[in-house]
């Protein structure tokens, strides 16, 4: 399918979902934790999201069934492939001369197996001197009796070795039964921009022009960029079956802490804005023991603004009622690597889900306080130095 046709097919599918739901871009974006302008770019075909998770959440909100969601994922995959360079095909080598090929030689017949050599009877050689010292028995009977004694003694020695090894040797306890899988599933999205509009990266060399928000992950990976001042993480959690899964707590674990990176800071900004501040968890990574604090959001899109209550634990999720946890983790005085732990319980079971970045790697946030931040001049086609940064990016 041509590039433009694949992207238009995806945009048409997203527009159909939005029309079915009837809510505004602001209302749907608030539920998806994306800005209204970002959602509008999906519907117009200006942008294809880098991950299917946000499209799948939109389908769930708009009442799509399982078959429609599978079809939508296939449409998104075709559009997503248009953003990636095609793989280079290997050049074909010269064709060999098409002459007659010799018939394969018959395989040689296997050589007849040689007769196994008889094992030496060590008991007979070792016991022969003893036979001469047993009075009153013919030599043949003495040999048979001592031969049987040697065989029985060897068998008892083997049984004793196996028994002692089973009882005394360490590390031979039977393996415990495998834990059943957790009753919930989750997806993680990082490299998010605040309100879908702006973010700061630390890069050790001058980068190319800033990407669109949907392509932030691949752009940052190509530059080796690190989140500057703040990292935004969205965790989408839902149960696997009809039983509710209770989310008990969200913990923050810092696994490595160092001095802030000395790299230059570059601000991503596409000039959009949003009237919705999503409810979220804020984390101060500079504290010795960071804590995820739930904060209210605010919707100023209507005539009268309204508060969006923070997520408070415990909180129940099911397969039909997922939940999104948006985490804003900030750092000013450290280069911190960290991850999240989500504690859950369901039907008498408890467990902890470890939330990390792609590939099981911890998230990484480095402070940028006091250094100049470069901004991109689209007219001049270059990065220019802006004002000094504050405590957070």
Query: Region 178-204: what's the mean pLDDT?
Result: 88
The answer to whether 193 and 361 have CB atoms below 8 angstroms apart is no
pLDDT classification of 165: cutoffs 50, 70, 90: very low
Number of residues assigned to the chain: 393
Residue 203, strand partner residues: 264
- 137 pLDDT more than 60: no
The answer to whether 190 and 357 have CB atoms below 8 angstroms apart is yes
The answer to whether 211 and 314 have CB atoms below 8 angstroms apart is no
How many Cα atoms sit within 13 Å of 80 on the Cβ side? 15
- Rounded to the nearest integer, the mean pLDDT of the chain is 78
pLDDT classification of 133: cutoffs 50, 70, 90: very low
This prediction's pTM = 0.60
- 260 pLDDT more than 90: yes
Q: What are the pLDDT digits (tens) for 331-363?
A: 999 999 999 999 999 989 999 999 999 889 999
Longest Cα–Cα distance of the chain, Å, equals: 120
Q: What are the pLDDT digits (tens) for 358-385?
A: 889 999 999 998 888 999 998 889 999 8
Query: Region 242-257: what's the mean pLDDT?
Result: 94
Q: What are the pLDDT digits (tens) for 6-35?
A: 889 989 999 988 888 778 887 787 777 778
Lowest mean pLDDT among 32-41, 106-115, 219-228, 346-355: 106-115
pLDDT classification of 131: cutoffs 50, 70, 90: very low
User: Which of 2-6, 284-288, 311-315, 388-392 holds the top average pLDDT?
Assistant: 284-288
Query: Region 210-239: what's the mean pLDDT?
Result: 92
Lowest mean pLDDT among 11-25, 47-61, 132-146, 300-314: 132-146
* Residue in 83, 60, 81, 78 with CA at minimum distance from that of residue 10: 78
> What percent of the chain clears pLDDT 70, i.e. is strictly above it?
72
pLDDT of the residue at 65: 84
Q: With the C-alpha atoms ordered 49, 51, 55, 57, is the resulting torsion angle positive or negative?
A: negative
Query: Region 237-252: what's the mean pLDDT?
Result: 92
Q: What are the pLDDT digits (tens) for 303-324?
A: 777 888 888 889 899 888 888 8
Query: Region 134-162: what's the mean pLDDT?
Result: 46
């Amino acid at each position: 399918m041509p590039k433009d046709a694949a992207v238009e097919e995806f945009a048409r599918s997203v527009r159909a979902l939005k029309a079915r739901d009837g809510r505004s871009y602001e209302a749907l974006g608030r539920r998806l934790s994306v800005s209204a302008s970002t959602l509008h770019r999906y519907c117009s075909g200006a942008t294809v999201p880098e991950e299917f998770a946000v499209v799948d959440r939109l389908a769930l909100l708009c009442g799509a069934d399982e078959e429609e969601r599978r079809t939508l994922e296939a449409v998104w995959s075709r559009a997503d492939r248009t953003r990636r360079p095609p793989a280079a095909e290997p050049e074909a080598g010269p064709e060999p001369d098409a002459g007659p090929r010799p018939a394969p030689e018959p395989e040689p017949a296997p050589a007849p197996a040689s007769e196994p050599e008889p094992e030496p009877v060590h008991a007979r050689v070792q016991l022969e001197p003893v036979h001469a010292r047993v009075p009153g028995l013919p030599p043949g009977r003495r040999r048979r009796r001592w031969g049987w004694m040697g065989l029985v003694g060897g068998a008892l020695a083997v049984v004793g070795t196996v028994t002692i090894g089973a009882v005394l040797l360490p590390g031979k306890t039977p393996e415990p039964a495998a834990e059943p899988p957790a009753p919930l599933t989750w997806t993680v999205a990082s490299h998010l921009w605040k309100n879908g509009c702006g973010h700061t990266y630390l890069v050790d060399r001058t980068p190319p022009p800033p990407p669109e928000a949907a392509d932030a992950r691949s752009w940052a990976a190509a530059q080796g960029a690190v989140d500057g001042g703040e990292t935004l993480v969205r965790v989408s959690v839902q149960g696997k079956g009809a039983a509710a899964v209770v989310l008990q707590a969200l913990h923050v674990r810092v696994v490595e802490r160092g001095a802030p990176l000395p790299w230059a800071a570059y601000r991503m900004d596409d000039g959009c804005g949003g009237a919705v501040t999503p409810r979220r968890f804020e984390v101060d990574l500079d504290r010795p023991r960071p804590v995820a604090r739930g904060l209210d959001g605010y919707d100023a899109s209507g005539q009268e603004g309204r508060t969006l209550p923070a997520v408070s634990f415990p909180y129940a999720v099911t397969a039909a009622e997922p939940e999104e946890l948006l985490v804003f983790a900030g750092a000013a005085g450290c280069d911190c690597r960290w991850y999240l732990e989500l504690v859950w319980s369901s039907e008498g079971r408890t467990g902890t889900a470890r939330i990390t970045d792609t590939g099981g790697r911890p998230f990484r946030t480095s402070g940028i306080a006091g250094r100049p931040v470069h901004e991109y001049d689209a007219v001049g086609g270059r990065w220019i130095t802006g004002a000094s940064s504050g405590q957070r990016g």
